[in-house]
Amino acid sequence: METQLSFRSPGAQWSVAELTNYLRELFESDRKLHDVAVIGEVSNISRPRSGHMYFSLTDGKAALQCVMWRSDVARLVLAPQDGERMVAYGNVSVYAASGRYQLYVNAIQLAGEGELLAQLEVLKRKLAAEGLFDLGHKSPLPALPERIAVVTSPTGAAFQDIKRVLARRWPLAQISLFGTAVQGTGASMEMVAALQAADELHLDVILLARGGGAAEDLWAFNNEEVVRAVAATTTPLVTGIGHETDFTLADLASDLRAATPSAAAEIATPHQRELRQELDRQFQRLSDSLRVQIQFLRAELRELEMGFRDLSPQVQLESVQQRLHHLSSQVFSSVRNSIELRRRDVFRMEQSLSSLGIEATLARGYAVVTNRFTGEILREASALTVGEVLDIRLYDGGFSAEVVGIHRREQ
């Protein structure tokens, strides 16, 4: 007897790609899957050279494959670690090449702010116990810094604020920028490298700065490696991070904390006007001291003259007069030498101050540009308008000009 096999006839035949694409369309047509927030424990994190990040979320009962594209990874404030409970935001779709559904993540954060603050407090206690925040480890700032390192973003407003303050207060300082990212993935490693590079040059002071932002924007300054790098610098270091109310662990490890980047530049440098006033006071003290010394010597001479008048023998009188003349010559010679030395000191001080004046600046090739009608000094190209009449002052004269074009520096 012949056995016959029968086959079930499907309604339609699918290729693998067709069925996968159909399932993907089902996922993508469900609006509930367009914007989801999934909480779970992170595991199996992978960061290939492409810059993308792959990981899994699990709650012990199920696992969800996740992918985060490089552009979204670059915006991360805190990179996730295996074992952390995180909330991942994104959309669900099907990856055709492997035939599996996965979460395409565009943002990720710790499961709760309380956990983040708790981790910060644990790190703070750990570093404090190691002595990184002890006052005994703080270095004093130099009185007259000549070379200043600025560790910050080269494109941020903080660096521009610092340059403006230094140009106004202490233009003699040489500024060296050590550019670094100040937020996002990789910012911590860049800051550590920049701090180490600045410290190796043995400059006078380091300014670690960043403009204001949300708490998560400043989180790189709470990174353990950054805090340790701040504490390890042998060069005096001032932090100016965020605003007055912002406080990071890097502030605790620094030698001095300022409220803002501008305040950091002010704390680290003297004001040229105050220095000039101090030189004037020193000059006045020297003059007063010399005047008192001369008056004292003259009084001694008068006493000697009166004593000689009481001597009757003519020989003794002539001898004493000769001695008096010799002493007076020595005294006045000593006074003249003293005055000359002090005059040279004052001359050197005046030369140092003159290098800060506008005439010396113009002599080095600079110019002062003012508005013809308002007299306002112009500092930025953005303040100019085409057709505006300007007065330009040079070292030996000046001239007038009309603005025919404006060229702004590329940022």
Q: How far is CA 48 from CA 9, 52, 53, 282, in A?
A: 46, 7, 7, 65
Q: Per the domain annotation, does 287 fall within a domain? A: yes
Say if CB 153 and CB 180 are below 8 A apart: yes
Q: What is the distance, to the nearest Å, from the Cα of residue 139 to the centroid of all Cα atoms in its chain?
A: 18
Q: Are residues 352 and 366 in the same domain?
A: no
Cβ contacts of 4-7, under 8 Å, gap ≥ 24? none
Confidence label for 340 from pLDDT (cuts 50, 70 and 90): confident
pLDDT at residue 134 above 90? yes
Average pLDDT, the chain: 85
Q: Each residue of 48-75: pLDDT tens digit?
A: 999 899 999 988 788 999 999 998 888 7
What's the whole-number mean pLDDT along residues 109-121?
A: 70
d(CA 258, CA 207): 10
- DSSP string computed for 285-354: HHHHHHHHHHHHHHHHHHHHHHHHHT---HHHHHHHHHHHHHHHHHHHHHHHHHHHHHHHHHHHHHHHHH
CB 117 within 8 A of CB 111: no
CA distances from 8 to 13, 14, 18, 19 (A): 12, 15, 21, 19
Last residue of a domain, one of 111, 142, 175: 111
Q: Are residues 262 and 306 in the same domain?
A: no
- What percent of the chain lies above the pLDDT cut of 90? 36
For the four alpha carbons of 339, 345, 348 and 352, in that order, the dihedral sign comes to: negative
Helix (H, G, I), strand (E, B) or coil at 28: helix
pLDDT greater than 70 at residue 254: yes
Over residues 99-122, the mean pLDDT reads 79
Looking at residue 189, what is its pLDDT? 93
Band of pLDDT at residue 1, cut at 50, 70 and 90: very low
Domain end call among 270, 296, 327: 270
Distance CA 207, CA 251 (A): 11
Q: Among residues 360, 364, 367, 361, which one has the least CA distance to residue 397?
A: 367
61 and 78 together in one domain = yes
Residue 211 lies in a domain: yes
Token pair listed for 313: 């023998």
User: Using one digit for the tens of pLDDT, what is the confidence trace for 155-211?
Assistant: 999 999 999 999 999 999 999 999 999 987 788 999 999 999 999 999 999 999 999
Looking at the structure, tell me whether residues 155 and 238 fall in a common domain: yes
CATH of the domain at 64: 2.40.50.140
Domain CATH number, residue 185: 3.40.50.2300
Average pLDDT (349-376) is 79
111: nearest Cα among 85, 76, 78: 85
Question: What are the structure tokens assigned to 29, written together?
Answer: 């047509």
pLDDT at 267 over 70: yes
264 and 213 together in one domain: yes
Q: Residue 317 — very low, low, confident or very high, per pLDDT cuts 50/70/90?
A: low
Final residue of a structural domain among 270, 305, 339 = 270
Per-residue model confidence as pLDDT tens digits over 358-367? 777 777 788 8
Residues 38 and 74 in one domain: yes
> What is the span of the domain harbouring residue 383?
361-402
Residues 215 and 288 in one domain: no
pLDDT, tens digit (0-9, with 9 covering 90-100), for 270-299: 988 877 777 778 878 888 888 888 888 888
Please report which confidence band the pLDDT of residue 373 belongs to, taking 50, 70 and 90 as the band edges: confident
Q: Please give the helix or strand (H or E) that residue 14 lies within, else none.
A: none
> Would 20 be classed as within a structural domain?
yes
Residue 410 counted as domain residue: no
Number of folded domains in the chain?
A: 4
Q: How far apart are CA 34 and CA 52, in angstroms?
A: 20
Say yes or no to pLDDT of 23 above 60. yes
Domain for residue 10, yes or no? Answer: no
Query: What's the confidence (pLDDT) of residue 244?
Result: 81
Determine contact, residues 238/184, Cβ cutoff 8 Å.
no
Asked whether residue 168 falls in the same domain as residue 244, the answer is yes
Q: Is 203 in the same domain as 100? A: no
**259 within 8 A of 243, measured Cβ to Cβ:** yes
In this structure, which amino acid lies at residue 201?
Answer: L
- Scanning the structure block, which residue is given the tokens 């001095």? 256
User: CA–CA separation, 175 vs 68, rounded Å?
Assistant: 39
Position 119 pLDDT exceeds 50: yes
Instruction: Fill in the amino acid letter for 147.
Output: R
Q: Is residue 183 part of a domain?
A: yes
Q: Would you call 105 helix, strand, or coil by DSSP?
A: strand
Output the pLDDT for position 38: 92
1 within some domain = no
Where is average pLDDT lowest: 16-30, 86-100, 156-170, 312-326?
Answer: 312-326
Residue 208 near residue 192, CB atoms below 8 Å: no
Contacts of 312 (CB under 8 A, 6+ apart): none
Per-residue model confidence (pLDDT) at position 312: 55
Which pLDDT score, from 0 to 100, does residue 116 have? 66
Residue 379: phi, psi to the nearest 5? -115, -20
Both 336 and 397 in a single domain? no
The whole-number average pLDDT for the span 115-143 is: 88
Q: Is 364 exposed, middle or buried (0-12, 13-18, 19+ CB in 10 A)?
A: exposed
- Kindly state whether residues 250 and 306 are assigned to the same domain: no
Give the integer Cα–Cα distance in Å for 210 and 157.
8
Distance CA 20, CA 24 (A): 6
Flag whether 3 is in a domain.
Answer: no
SS3 67: strand
Q: Do 237 and 319 fall within a single domain?
A: no
pLDDT score recorded for residue 6:
46
CA separation for the pair 312, 402 (Å, rounded): 89
